[in-house]
Amino acid sequence: MTRRFATLDAWLDWQASLHPKTIELGLKRVAAVWARLGPTPVPFPVVTVGGTNGKGSCVAMIESMVEAAGYRCACYTSPHLLRYNERVRIAGEAVSDAALCDAFARVDRARGDIALTYFEFGTLAALDLFVRERPDLAVLEVGLGGRLDAVNLLDADVSVVTSIGRDHTDWLGETLDAIAVEKAGIFRPGRPAVIGQRDAPGRLREEALRLGATPLQLGREFERETADAGWIWRGASGERLALPIPALRGDFQRDNAAAAIRALLCLRQSLPVPVNAMRTGLQRARLPGRFQVIPGVPTWILDVAHNGAAAQSLATNLRDFACSGQLRAVLAVLSDKEPEAIARPLLPFVTQWFLTQSDDARAMPADRLAARLDAVLPEPAAGCFVKLATALAAARAASAPGDGLLVVGSFTTVSQALGQCPEHLV
């Protein structure tokens, strides 16, 4: 096969500059290329997962439960933390550089003169690989929004929206109702529309009904209840499943788990997952960068929380986390985020703040971040650093045994920090 490039890095560098815009929402381009590249419909069931927060957790739990039942599950997620290959997994394993390069070459030939964004190119390559591998289930994570996101190219058998919150407002709208309309775009007529948030904006359910989908919402068509040493999933028909606490930390993860189980139960005629596999899968599910704790001196806590709702969830986990000493936070966010909303829920737990910026071209400059937080932090930050590595070094130098070091603000923040964490590299 003739390939434009020989290495994965070369392909990715080129893709980043192929389209004049980093983000260009819309399905016209990917649909045109897929019509030349792949079959419609695809030869496996599809679960598409969107939402402001919790979609990565939901995908990880669905994948883990399906794999525990003995099926082959394909997953497409974004962004990645350390390697691009993390985005495309089949049977629990990231695909190889060679497989990705071959898929990129096929997409390149099929696109002709159509300019694709980085995300569109990757989405088409992942779908091409999945069609060739024919998994028992494919789980696709929405990149941004839903209605116009590239993964919405396929008609999902089950669609899940985990939650609605303020994020990406430049693209999705300023109000929760406007954001709900965009997220609901992944719902399909006559198919289940799982809503994993009991207090989701009413517009989300209204859109599901308007589109002809069947809404299944936490707190209405299904519920989760606390129980001794675990929790109970309960369906509208009285079905009850006794389940263990998920490995992913936080009580809110039971909401994500409940939505994941509801999605799988929608597929039980063609893909039955026994309750024992659900139990095993919930206890095995892992998701790097979401309250990821790395023991050491200090103990590192890494969380990709990049909006107010995610920071609230992080605060809930910090409340239950045993840190005998002080907690210092290294914060770096992207320019389109609201750092005030991220910092406020964390104020009761953080002793010192180290403000910085990642190497991402979209990073908010450290001095601008400091200005935004000047009236939010109870006292001046411990430091403002142009380089994330410098901020991490300063926070570590100030730490003693028993202290914690929280790294938060974005995927790129956590990704860079992982590369600086000695305990992670051992």
Q: How many CA atoms lie within 13 A of 253 on its CB side?
A: 25
CATH number of 8-284: 3.40.1190.10
In 3D space, the residue among 311, 180, 168 whose CA is nearest the CA of residue 250 turns out to be 311
For residues 188 and 200, what is the distance between their CA atoms, to the nearest angstrom? 19
Q: For residue 418, is pLDDT > 50? A: yes
pTM of the model: 0.94
Mean pLDDT computed over 222-234: 93
Q: Is 243 strand, coil or helix?
A: strand
Reported as a single tens digit per residue, the pLDDT across 345-396 is 999 999 999 999 999 989 999 999 999 999 999 887 788 999 999 999 999 9
Residue 276, C-beta contacts closer than 8 angstroms, at least 6 positions apart: none
Q: For residue 424, is pLDDT > 60? A: no
- CATH topology match: 8-284 vs 292-425: no
CATH number of 292-425: 3.90.190.20
For residues 184 and 180, what is the distance between their CA atoms, to the nearest angstrom? 6
Minimum mean pLDDT range among 47-56, 122-131, 289-298: 289-298
For residues 205 and 50, what is the distance between their CA atoms, to the nearest angstrom? 14
Q: Phi and psi for 58 in degrees, rounded to 5?
A: -60, -45
Torsion region of 278: left, alpha or beta (phi above 0 gives left; psi -120 to 50 gives alpha): alpha
In this predicted structure, what is the pLDDT of residue 171? Answer: 67
In 3D space, the residue among 380, 235, 233, 287 whose CA is nearest the CA of residue 53 turns out to be 287
Contact between 331 and 409 (Cβ < 8 Å) = yes
Strand order across the 46-50 sheet:
93-94, 88-90, 73-76, 137-141, 46-50, 158-161, 192-195, 214-217
Cis-peptide into 365, omega within 30 deg? no
For the chain, the average pLDDT equals 94
Query: What is the maximum alpha-carbon separation in the chain?
Result: 60
* Pairwise pLDDT comparison (144 vs 200), residue with the higher score: 200
Q: What is the secondary structure of 372-411 as a DSSP string?
A: HHTTTSSS--SEE-SSHHHHHHHHHHT--TT-EEEEES-H
Reported as a single tens digit per residue, the pLDDT across 89-105 is 999 999 999 999 999 99
Reported as a single tens digit per residue, the pLDDT across 250-265 is 889 999 999 999 999 9
Q: How far apart, in Å, are the Cα atoms of 15 and each of 44, 96, 143?
A: 28, 18, 17
Q: Where are the domains of the chain?
A: 8-284, 292-425
In this predicted structure, what is the pLDDT of residue 168? Answer: 67
Reported as a single tens digit per residue, the pLDDT across 46-83 is 999 999 999 999 999 999 999 999 999 999 999 999 99
Q: For residue 6, is pLDDT > 60? A: yes
Q: For residue 3, is pLDDT > 70? A: yes
- Other C-beta atoms closer than 10 Å to the C-beta of 244 total 14
Cis-peptide into 348, omega within 30 deg? no
Q: For residue 43, is pLDDT > 60? A: yes
Give residue for tokens 């790097």.
Answer: 288
Residue 378 carries which side chain, given as an amino acid letter?
A: P
In this predicted structure, what is the pLDDT of residue 422? Answer: 66
